[in-house]
Amino acid sequence: MKKPTAYFTTSFTILFLFTTLFFYILNDYTRNDLAWFDERLITAVQSYVSPSLTSIVNVITFFGSVKWFVLAAIFVCLLLIIAKKYSLAIFVALSSGLGGLINWLLKWLFKRERPDILPLIEETGFSFPSGHSMGSFIFYGALAFVLIHFVKNMLLRCIICLLLGLTILTIGVSRIYLGVHYPSDVLAGFLVGAIWLILNIMVYHYYEYKLKRREVS
């Protein structure tokens, strides 16, 4: 029981830190204390705006869209079902599906309007937290978790996590570049996505742990 206890203690500590950071951002943005941070970062990112780069960023941001996540999650789940990895398929389906619902609820709860500083595309709905950022963290984080189960080479595992991590970060920055999210929206999206993903991983590990205990007994 020492290993599970240490694992869950560490996980809950990380969850506490991420939750604290999220509420710090929430408290500061509602009082407009983060306006300087948002404006400076938007100005810095959008200083690189050009027609050619915008075309590339529009492609990047698509890989953080709801349409893409629905198609990609279904595809991954089908592959996992074919491989008879049913628990991982449920993990991907629930983490991504319910994550989207949570994002919608948070947007409806906080009702933050989108920035009006040089928007390069049109987006509807509220701004906080960023759905692209939150969805990316959940889906690509879940994908990394799944791939780790199939890849045994440690170096390759690290490369996969690094590439998917850069994908998450790039999608978040793309939302700032396009002028449809404040940087605090993006950061909050990452934090909530991380919290939800960690909770799902904990539930998955708990299920696997109980299943192994049952098989032994």
Reported as a single tens digit per residue, the pLDDT across 109-156 is 998 888 887 777 888 888 999 999 999 999 999 999 999 999 989 999
Q: If pLDDT is split at 50, 70 and 90, which confidence band does 2 have? A: very low
pTM to 2 decimal places: 0.91
181 within 8 A of 127, measured Cβ to Cβ: yes
pLDDT of residue 215: 66
Distance (Å, whole) CA 76 – CA 74: 6
Q: Residue 8 pLDDT more than 90?
A: no
Predicted confidence (pLDDT) at residue 216 exceeds the cutoff of 70:
no
Distance from C-alpha of 152 to C-alpha of 168, rounded to nearest angstrom = 23
pLDDT of residue 101: 95
What secondary structure, in 3-state letters, does the chain show? CHHHHHHHHHHHHHHHHHHHHHHHHHHHHHCCCCHHHHHHHHHHHHCCCCHHHHHHHHHHHHCCCHHHHHHHHHHHHHHHHHCCCHHHHHHHHHHHHHHHHHHHHHHHHHCCCCCCCCCCCCCCCCCCCCHHHHHHHHHHHHHHHHHHHHCCCHHHHHHHHHHHHHHHHHHHHHHHHCCCCCHHHHHHHHHHHHHHHHHHHHHHHHHHHHHHHHHHC
Please determine, for residue 1, whether its predicted confidence score (pLDDT) is greater than 50.
no
Residue 200, domain extent: 2-216
* Residue range 9-45, pLDDT digits in tens: 888 889 999 999 998 888 876 666 678 888 889 989 9
* Total tally of structural domains belonging to the chain: 1
Percent of all residues in the chain with a pLDDT value above 90, rounded to a whole number: 69
